[in-house]
Structure 1
Amino acid sequence: MATFSHRRTDGPISSTVIAAVLALFGLGVQQVTTLPAFLLDPELLTAPTDASIASRAGMLILGFLGFVVAGGIYLAVTDRGWSYVDLRWPTRRGWGYVLAGVVGGIAFYVLISIAVQLLSLPTAENQVSTYIGNDQTMLLVMIAIVFLFNAPAEEFLYRNIVQKRLYDAFSRRRAVAIASVIFGLIHFPVYAALSESLLATAVPVAVVMGGAAIFGFLYAETDNLLVPIAAHAVFNGVQFGLQYLVLEYNLETAESMSVAVDLAAAVPL
């Protein structure tokens, strides 16, 4: 693992504020990098599902690249450089953590789906799902995007940059918890804009925090960014794959399946 030789000794408050600012900075850069897609195809704003698959895919890819740009700017400004990125091929132990993360993520997702059904909890729609709709081809494209862009970009910024920045002031477990809360809270405005109630917003935000905690734990335990990337990609791939199967085989009539798919649409991480 590459180490950063001049670690700072920030206090808990300053470290948390910096981590939160970095997370928000990623969202800000994302707005800039996606601008060309919206300018080239205004339907992405007015009628997202009517836009071409190429336009929708391009916009999402540009958004995830925004996270990479934001992280790269941070590394450059702080003189950390790309050696700060903990990226290497996993050991057998690392692949074990990948498997555990995928199984744990799916189990967590299933339990939440059951709770949502039993308690009749509302859920807000995820912004990504507004660009997918019921387009089966777009769901398959999303699986590729998740593996090539979404998981690598999000894990790079929110684990290797935000979470690792918190190591300066907190134990690793506390850093995972704080980074997960930050990751959930920055999603709050998006879910709130697409929700009809505070509860419908809180449910997917809580699930996002839980997923972030799982991936954050994998990173903290292995110091290898590829481990949470792989687990994240497979987990999201299962989510989108599930939605594809429901549409392909007309399974939406089953109540339990419908709830699971609604939650999958609400919280792709």
Structure 2
Amino acid sequence: MSVRSRSRAVAVCLALAFGGWFTGFAATLGVELHTLALGYDAAAILQIGSSVAFNVVGAAGLALTYLIVRRNGFDLEFALSFLRIRKPTVWDLAWIVFGLVGAFVVLTSYHAFIELVDPFGTGGEGETHSSIEENREYPVLFLVAIPIAIFLTGPGEELLYRGVIQSRLGESFPTAVAVVVASFVFAIVHLPVYMGDDFGAVLVSLGTVGMLGLYFGVLYELSNSLFVPALIHGLYNATVYLSNYLTYA
């Protein structure tokens, strides 16, 4: 594979990743302005509208747009094959159950290592996701976020970052490289929601996202099904929200 084709693959994937974020942000801003203009200032309504906008329009919308542009029209057979979407099997359900447990094992190990080594002088502490920090003031919003995580966030982000970006990189790079690069991109685009005064803590949190992305990417390759990382991603986020609800309610 030539350097030119590999450079093009990376450029396309970066454009998709950051394009998805900016598209989602613009859609989210539009939804929030419209709901406020209509007089619906309830936090739950804003969260639902914003999540739909960011994940459906930003992540999933851009992913599907790429597939349409690439084939000069929507080619269902190509899309299903490229994204590795197929009918779930019993083995996929096993992947999901053990994969969800594995996600917490991986992150627990990562944080234990960071706390032990403390490379950024933060005592192993990272920044809190901005939405979680906001929801702690209104814990019921964590309950609102649970179905959103399962049905929108997990599928939307995995469709873009694993289904499109990792698969596209895999056409030009060895699988291992594609998984690592896609995970790095996945972490970088989360920078805005982890921004804080302590840059070391920001790096710890981005490392957390990167480890999750790496884990989801490996599961995607091993299971050969987008359904697996999408559901594990959603269930992982939902579990975090439920834990926060039980803590702060």
Q: TM-score, normalised by structure 1?
A: 0.78
Q: 1:69 aligns with which of 41, 61, 66?
A: 61
Q: State the distance in 2 between where 1:159 and 1:197 align.
A: 30
Is the aligned partner of 1:99 residue 2:97?
Answer: yes
1:255 aligns with none
Equivalent residue, structure 2, for 1:266? none
Deviations 1:139-193 (A, max 9, x none): 011111011111110111111111100111112222111100111112224423x
C-alpha deviation, 1:198, in angstroms: 1.5
Aligned-residue offset at 1:136? 2.3
Q: Aligned pair 1:19/2:10, yes or no? A: no
**How far apart are 1:225 and its partner, in Å?**
0.9
Give the structure 1 partner of residue 139 of structure 2.
136
Deviation of 1:130 after TM superposition, in Å, equals: 4.6
CA drift of 1:54 comes to 1.3
Provide the aligned C-alpha RMSD in A.
2.4
Q: Matches of 1:190 and 1:137 in 2, distance apart?
A: 21
> Partners in 2 of 1:114 and 1:100 — Cα distance?
21
CA contact (8 A) 1:10 1:169 kept: no
The offset of 1:93, in angstroms, is 2.5
CA distance in 2, matches of 1:51, 1:130: 17
Aligned pairs, how many? 233
Taking the aligned partners of 1:10 and 1:141, their CA distance within structure 2 comes to 46
**d(CA) in 2 for partners of 1:185 and 1:196?**
17
Matched residue, 1:52: 43
Distance, in Å, in 2 between the alignment partners of 1:126 and 1:227 is 24
- Give the one of 75, 86, 90 matched to 1:81: 75
Report the Cα distance in structure 2 between the residues aligned to 1:10 and 1:231, rounded to whole angstroms: 35
What is the one-letter code of the residue matched to 2:160?
Answer: L
1:254 maps to: none
Cα deviation for residue 72 of structure 1 reads: 1.5
Name stretches of at least 5 consecutive residues in structure 1 with no aligned partner: 1-7, 44-49, 249-269
Residue pair 1:102, 1:235 contacting (<8 A) in 2 also? yes
The range that moved more, 222-231 or 79-88, is 79-88
2:148 to 126, 138, 145: 145
Q: 1:32 corresponds to which residue?
A: 26
Deviations 1:53-104 (A, max 9, x none): 1122211221111211111211111116343132223223222222232111
Where does residue 231 of structure 2 map in the other structure?
230
Pair 1:180 & 2:171 matched: no
Q: Give yes or no for contact 1:9–1:168 (8 Å, CA) kept in 2.
A: no
Partner of 2:203: 202
Are 1:146 and 1:236, in contact at CA under 8 Å, matched by a contact in 2?
A: yes
Deviates more, 1:21-30 or 1:107-116: 107-116
Listed as ranges, the gaps of 5+ residues in structure 2 are none
50-59 or 100-109, larger mean C-alpha shift: 50-59
Instruction: Give yes or no for contact 1:188–1:205 (8 Å, CA) kept in 2.
Output: yes
Tell me which moved more, 33-42 or 20-29.
Answer: 33-42
TM-score by length of 2: 0.84
Rounded Cα–Cα distance in structure 1 between residues aligned with 2:44 and 2:193: 22
Distance 1:22 1:171 in 2: 20
- Quote the residue 2:173 is aligned against: 170
